[in-house]
Chain A
Amino acid sequence: MGECNRCGACKKVCIAFKRGVATGASVLEREDRFTCAGCWKCVEACPEGVDIYNLMMEARRRGELPESFRMGVKYILDTGYAMPMRGVNAIREMYRLPKIRKVKPEVVKKLLREVELD
């Protein structure tokens, strides 16, 4: 894995920079690391092979979580899915799709036991 030389190649392809919401020398030096489309063009563009995906996630873990991410994490911890699934079987029926058994919440709790929201 390479080290960043701040060449800026990653930000040239980044949609958040193109749309004017991110500033900084590279996608990793942006202040807001959550306003990201997850398109990973930055990873492809980097000439140094910097492990942008993992570094970005590590940086997010150190910062404050935006409310939408908090909700996503909370839904997953409580139900195993990133959004509320109430009513999903009724909609499936409309489309003549069979019911799918959901994951048991206690399974998710065991798998993600160290993940907490403060």
Chain B
Amino acid sequence: MERLLYLGCMVYNRFPDYELSAKAVLSKLGFKLRDFHEFACCSSTFIPSVSEAWIYLSAYNLALAERRGLDIISLCGTCTSMLKRTNLMLKDEKLKEEVNSRLAGVGLSYSGKVRVSHLLEVLKENEDKIRAHVAKPLKLRVALQHPCNVFRPSEVARFDDPFKPKAMREIVALTGAEIVDYAQEYECCGSTLLLTSKALGLGAGASKLASAREAGAQAIVVSCGNCAYLFDRHQEEIKKQEPKAELPTLFLPQLLGLAFGLSKEELGLDIRRVELG
């Protein structure tokens, strides 16, 4: 039950409450999470857009984990996908040799043994334990944001249905919270669009959040830092554009933690306060 928690840049930089609540909930479920010292970016969308060498940086993270003999739990969609893609590509022995000769330059090697799972996959595998830990069933209506890259491309993700994933619904249902159906539930959040067009990203976010609120949601539940970056960090701007898109963001482990009866402090809700309307 010992695992390395891969934060990725976004969570490390912006969402300590996601990290804190994930640690609190997973430790309740019996996991021993270790901090991932010296981790680096997974290469994200940036390095692949300029060079094939992106795989070296991604593989470096896997090699660090292998040296510690631990599998990885990740918190964002893209990190999960990049690390899994690397594992998949390294089934090619020639590429693996090449990657290893680069890793040798920094004193590492990688044989391909580290399993990478997104938080959602881990929770799905521990449904029974979650059920047993629910102490305070929630009276709350929530909308879900399914994290794209945890399911797509399916060839890389190998988890759940790529267009209509069910795992998050099944887990959230265990908390007692009511899950609203909303028209745009299975649409991408659009956060990455912010990179080249702020208006486009905000527009995508506004239309999703408005759709969720219209369906009666009191919060949107996310399990990716990138989704939270759009919905939470841009909430003010989104609201200005579309007043009907006012909706607080909760991280999946915060919701679970509340149902487990954990304190606001344990879930980081004393600092980034979430007012549930």
B20, CB-defined interface residue at 8 Å: yes
Residue contact B13 to A85, C-beta cutoff 8 Å: yes
Closest chain A residue to B21 by CB distance? A95
A residues 62-118 touching B (CB-CB < 8 Å)? 65-66, 68-69, 72-73, 76, 80-85, 88, 91-92, 94-98, 100-104, 107-108, 110-115, 117
Distance in Å: Cβ of B222 to nearest Cβ of chain A: 15
B interface, CB within 8 angstroms of A: 7, 9-10, 12-13, 16-17, 19-20, 35-41, 43-51, 53, 56-57, 60, 78, 102-103, 105-106, 148-149, 152-155, 162-163, 187-193, 195-197, 200, 203-204, 265, 268, 271
A9, CB-defined interface residue at 8 Å: no
Tell me the complex Cα distance, A81–B6, Å. 13
Residue contact A112 to B57, C-beta cutoff 8 Å: yes
Closest chain B residue to A114 by CB distance? B53
Contacts of B20 in A (CB 8 A): 95-97
Tell me the complex Cα distance, A102–B9, Å. 11
**Do A95 and B271 form a contact, CB below 8 Å, given A82-B41, A112-B51, A114-B53?**
yes
Contacts of B204 in A (CB 8 A): 15, 19, 37
Contacts of A35 in B (CB 8 A): 193, 196-197, 200
A28, CB-defined interface residue at 8 Å: no
Closest chain A residue to B39 by CB distance? A103
Tell me the complex Cα distance, A113–B148, Å. 31
**Do A95 and B17 form a contact, CB below 8 Å, given A15-B187, A21-B200?**
yes
A4, CB-defined interface residue at 8 Å: no
Closest chain A residue to B23 by CB distance? A97
A interface, CB within 8 angstroms of B: 15-16, 19, 21, 32, 34-41, 43-44, 53, 57, 60-61, 65-66, 68-69, 72-73, 76, 80-85, 88, 91-92, 94-98, 100-104, 107-108, 110-115, 117
Tell me the complex Cα distance, A81–B56, Å. 14
Residue contact B78 to A76, C-beta cutoff 8 Å: no
Distance in Å: Cβ of A72 to nearest Cβ of chain B: 4
Residue contact B49 to A61, C-beta cutoff 8 Å: yes
For this complex, 17 residue pairs linking A to B, each with C-beta atoms less than 8 Å apart, are A19-B204, A21-B200, A34-B49, A36-B193, A38-B45, A38-B192, A39-B149, A40-B149, A44-B162, A60-B49, A66-B195, A69-B45, A81-B40, A100-B35, A103-B40, A112-B51, A115-B47
